[in-house]
Chains A and B, each alone.
Chain A
Amino acid sequence: MSSPENQPQDAAVELNFNDTELTLGLPGAAKTGSKREFSHTLEASSTSAKSPAQKAQVVGWPPVRASRKSVMKKCKYVKVAVDGAPYLRKVDLEMYQSYDQLLSSLETMFTCLTIWNDLNQKNCERGKNNNGGEYVPTYEDKDGDWMMVGDVPWNMFVESCKRIRLMMSSEEATTGFGARRGSSE
């Protein structure tokens, strides 16, 4: 699985969920990134940022602690529900730069779940869900509608996402995705 630092920061149109397939495994301690990793990530992603007003950074200069570097970044915590999981988690969407990063992080968080059955071999009708078909990542947007994760550019997604639900795709197949759409306009 490629590391977050190497992911291009582009609008994620082609999503490959193979890498994010949830599997059985021991619950991993979700490493939230040491001081060093965080700033390394930050510096790496900053240098690949589109803005020319950001320059290549010298390590440790200016002398600002890691906790202060992200002052300009907002914090956007959303609840993440996984069907069948006994509890929800929260993630800060501002910590990620792409769908891949988010989904691989969610995989780490939920690897302890053993609820998957092997009924689902169907692909999602949009053709984007190319994994073994165990789950479909969806989210509720500002209008209250349940949307497929991955359709819109990442930044737009972060802005509009209120909560995330990883749906069992067998449920999706039986209930029909359309039935999930909220009716509030």
Chain B
Amino acid sequence: MQRMALSFPEEVLEHVFSFIRSERDRNVISLVCKSWYEIERWCRWRVFIGNCYAVSPMMVIKRFPEVRSISLKGKPHFADFNLVPEGWGGFVCPWIGAIAKAYPWLEEIRLKRMVITDESLELIARSFKNFKVLVLSSCEGFSTDGLAAIAANCRNLRELDLRESEVDDRNGHWLSHFPDSYTSLVSLNISCLGSEVSLSALERLIGRCPNLQTLRLNRAVPLDRLANLLARTPQLIEFGTGAYSSEIRPEVFSKLSGALSGCKQLRSLSGFWDVLPSYLPAIYPICSRLTSLNLSYATIQSLDLIKLVSQCHNLQRLWVLDYIEDAGLDALAVSCKDLRELRVFPSDPFALEPNVTLTEHGLVSVSEGCPKLQSVLYFCRQMSNAALITIARNRPNMTRFRLCIIEPRTPDYLTLQPLDAGFGAVVEYCKDLRRLSLSGLLTDRVFEYIGTYGKKLEMLSVAFAGDSDLGLHHILSGCDNLRKLEIRDCPFGDKALLANAAKLETMRSLWMSSCLVSYGACKLLGHKMPRLNVEVIDERGPPDSRPESCPVEKLYIYRTIAGPRLDMPDFVWTMEDDSEFRIS
């Protein structure tokens, strides 16, 4: 092995490297020289693969022989909104098969938007003796039988988190498969499950796990059982209720309130389906300790929300429905000076007329009153350039800004102008902006601003915006740090894409659907760029049954060193670099 003349011994370097936790820093270290590459790869413990098709399991295993923790992401983000047809991909089975053999000491698997089967879960349960963490975020393809295998076999399991996954929920018996000797649970999130788990099994389980910090129950757990559960786990830090309603019984209320107060470390609450407002005061005694509150399923009205948030002086994160209204956001701005993240979801996204008084005023209020606000997701029905400019000026520390004006192409409601200037101000003033989602009426102008100012932008979501290829060209040529770009229903075509082909290799992925990119351009791009997979998704049938100039339905382009993938369904075509397409 080559060594630099003045280098430290390997062991020392390895020790130094062990303090470098971030994957990006690790990647940079490995590029310094060959010997550092070698040393680093032998002590890389944690691998994050943002696109499971960018690299093959064998490549990962070959380079990093000592991995203990693996994270994989599969489907594109727009899969969350049903834009990616079922069966598209993201199958984790080949990965599990490979790592089961290669990493017997693997401890953690974190998957997002992937398809995982019960067989894979069973293989995980059998293969890794020291398995500790399983996080399945927005995953699908498995049932509670697979969970039973995990529960029964993973003696050292600490974390089981099924957040927002779609589980074939056969029954609640899987939870009873945790043996009586099992005591190591730290985090359990079953909020996505539909059926009832055995409450007595749950009580016994959490009662014997003294290190439990996070417990997120599902809707089916009734309110009147919560007090008993909480009484067994007073060290809890994060708690998610089930359905938050019950016949009004004073003893239920007081027991619940007492149990919540008894959890002195409790900082985060969620759940709150089917809320009966009379039970909300049960949480008042602990409001001042809360740093995170997820009320995004709670159909409670503004007044109740105001009473609640006004007591949460230490709140850092709030997820809530638009029932909070402008008045509630005013109260938030006054009471919650430590707020960092706000997400306001629509209670009735498909209604034509607003059902609540939530406008741009609420967001402006919060931007004024909360100096640490840096992450926003906001659904509303009206916006103005003036408001956006005010928000941007108030909060130059904004890092994530996602605005969804519900009706596509809605102009500034005061001036009827496009919202170019408003979003332009956001990218101009918020110099550390990493994530941006646009909405409303927007011309190519806004993309010029984004290309000019959005130098730190890493992820951009665009819908129903722009006039021409120039818009796309501004983004691709201007945003130096762009990693993920997702576009739908925009008049962007071939020119900008082909002119900026090289840029695509510097990004993780590009999604374009209902745009104007032709099949011919896709073929050309695939031909020119062997290190990109250019995948055409078209449910109308083979693209070559239509003229080459015909726009494709959907396009997903990503950089890869693994070549074209082999698991495509019959509505996906990879543009080969010898310019022939392959039917899978």
Contact = CB atoms under 8 A, between A and B. Distances in A.
Contacts of A62: 346, 349, 379, 404, 406
Nearest to A49: B350
A75 B488 contact: no
Interface in B176-202: 192, 194-196
A59 to B, nearest CB: 6
Contacts of A64: 81, 345-346, 349, 379
A39 interface: yes
Interface residues of A, number: 30
Contact of B273 (A54, A65, A75): A75
A46 B404 contact: no
Interface string A55-98: 10111111111111101101101000000000000100000000
B81 A61 contact: yes
B347 A71 contact: yes
Contact of A75 (B86, B164, B243, B348): B243
Given A34-B140, A72-B299, A46 B350 contact: yes
B166 A35 contact: yes
B86 A36 contact: yes
Interface string B135-157: 00000100000000000000000
Interface string B226-240: 000000000000000
B296 interface: yes
A43 to B, nearest CB: 8
B220 A77 contact: yes
A2 interface: no
Residue of B164, B170, B350 ringed by the most chain A CB atoms within 10 A: B350
A29 interface: yes
Nearest to B191: A67
Contact of A34 (B164, B166, B169, B406): B166
Interface of B: 78, 80-83, 85-86, 140, 164, 166, 168-170, 192, 194-196, 219-220, 243, 273-274, 296-297, 299, 321, 345-353, 379, 404, 406, 408, 461, 463, 488-489
Interface of A: 29, 32, 34-36, 39-40, 46, 53-55, 57-69, 71-72, 74-75, 77, 90
16 contacts: A29-B168, A32-B168, A36-B82, A36-B85, A39-B82, A54-B351, A54-B352, A58-B408, A60-B488, A61-B81, A62-B379, A62-B404, A63-B404, A65-B164, A67-B164, A71-B347
Identify the 4 closest CB pairs spanning chains A and B, nearest first.
A60-B81, A60-B83, A63-B81, A62-B349
